[in-house]
Amino acid sequence: MPPGLGALAASVCNAPVWRAKRDSSGECRQKEPGLQTIEHWGQRAARWLAAHRRGATATVVAVLSGFSAVAFGIAPRAPDAADLPQLWITENLELSSLDEQLEALATHPMSLVRGDVTRDSDTGESLLARLGAVDPSAAFFLRSDPIARMVLRGRSGKLVQARTDSDGQLVDLVARYPSERREFATSHFVRLTMSRVDGAWQARTELAPLSARVQLASGTIRSTLFAATDEAGVPDVVASQLADIFSTDIDFHRELRRGDTFSVAYEALTADGEPVPWNAGAGRVLAAEFVNDGRAYHALWFDGASGRGGYFDAQGVSKRRAFLASPMEFSRVTSGFALRFHPILQSWRRHLGVDYAAPVGTPVRAIGEGVVDFAGWQNGYGQVVQIQHGKDRSTLYAHLSRIDVRKGQRVTQGDHVGAVGMTGWTTGPHLHFEFRVNGEHRDPLVMAKTAETVALDESARPRFEEFARTYQAKLEIAESMVGTRASFE
């Protein structure tokens, strides 16, 4: 063997990948021809792949794609359901007799649930009887337990729901009513639960949040705002809010026209899914449109970047002005800012304020921020509160039954300063209200309309515009169903 070939053979024998074996004399045995051929072509294939790696990869992908296409083409189709055989089976079912059905039904435990609202004249026995429960022990517990007794005490109109068994025995009773705590009165309710525990009655209370769904309504003015809202099924508290929201745009006492229309989206409050009877079951007005004498006014409740919510028009201008149009949440004006016949002096005199008729005790609010300049008795005005708003403007609230502020106290817009009464020279309960500029009397409504407004924070404008589009769509739905209501969860 030539020297060069001998060295090559030795290296092959020593290489582990060839796994060649030496014989007993130490010489390397030649491999079988078939194995040599396979190894030869394997080496050539490895060298070719190393030199043409990209082309080999493309070729493999193309081949696999071809296999996929072939597989897709020859996949068998499922049979059409319409071609499958159908088998109709008809069987007569024999029903048990009515007596047997009643007997079977009687073996199942039953419970009945009935709801109602409490009345001023309710006793434990009368309330349970109205709820379909006959249970002397439960009636006694309602009278004697300090917690359960709250169902019958206080204001009527509490939501009460009783669950009884098939014998009329009370299983449990749940009452829902507004919280007495002022900060939770409009956002939460009290849930009082009375149930048997180990054969003895127990009662407990818990504070739970009210839920709200969006209620839509619309109507047309034929005589008064409240008559139109009653016809549309809108609660009075919502009507009062509408009058308050648009008070600086519309004088509801002198500018309301037959044919004016309104559309409103407001919160309908529920307690555990049940509509609440207190406060007419309504919360805040969320959006509203009022068309007065052909001109449309809009309002949208929005929580701005400052965190203090308020009403804005469609352009993002606040409906809140430096002064409210009225010191009360909608009341009947009995005497405006004009010449009138004085009921006590029996002579024609210029009336330098506005009189609002309202029951004694109706809250009176400050129309703007300021400092209490006077709080006490003033001759014919009776009990009076006077507030200084800046250097030149002041307001006066007269004939009050009580005063809730003191001299020198700072108040903000909407704070209660007293309550309607009939102190001083008066023929009936009402509030006399005056607006003065540098000591001269001015028409309060004119001053409210011309007062400066508050602009929307620009950082909150994108979110406001999104809100506006959403509620404009809801108002359009409400407008299409005049005199009706709809709910949206």
- Given this model, what pLDDT does residue 257 score? 92
- Extract the tokens encoding 349: 């005199």
The answer to whether 36 and 44 have CB atoms below 8 angstroms apart is: no
- Given this model, what pLDDT does residue 46 score? 60
CA 238 from centre of chain: 15
Q: Nearest to residue 353, comparing CAs of 319, 320, 399, 414?
A: 399
Distance, in Å, from the CA atom of 280 to the CA atom of 276, rounded to the nearest integer, reads: 7
Roughly what angle, to the nearest 10 degrees, separates helices 33-51 and 53-74?
A: 100
The answer to whether 175 and 274 have CB atoms below 8 angstroms apart is: no
- Given this model, what pLDDT does residue 20 score? 41
State yes or no: pLDDT of 171 exceeds 80: yes
Confidence of residue 451 (pLDDT cuts 50, 70, 90): low
- Given this model, what pLDDT does residue 97 score? 81
Confidence of residue 32 (pLDDT cuts 50, 70, 90): very low
CA 88 from centre of chain: 53
The answer to whether 271 and 265 have CB atoms below 8 angstroms apart is: no
Confidence of residue 75 (pLDDT cuts 50, 70, 90): very low
Largest alpha-carbon pair distance within the chain?
A: 151
- CA dihedral of residues 261, 263, 267, 268 (deg, nearest 10): 70
Confidence of residue 25 (pLDDT cuts 50, 70, 90): very low
What structural domains and CATH numbers belong to the chain? 109-209 (3.10.450.350), 211-322+462-488 (3.10.450.350), 332-451 (2.70.70.10)
State yes or no: pLDDT of 484 exceeds 60: no
Confidence of residue 339 (pLDDT cuts 50, 70, 90): very low
Own/partner long-range contacts of 98-101 (Cβ < 8 Å, ≥24 apart): none
- Given this model, what pLDDT does residue 405 score? 95
Report for 40-49, 122-131, 270-279, 438-447: range of highest mean pLDDT: 122-131
Higher pLDDT, 306 or 403: 403
- Extract the tokens encoding 335: 């005497």
- Given this model, what pLDDT does residue 204 score? 95
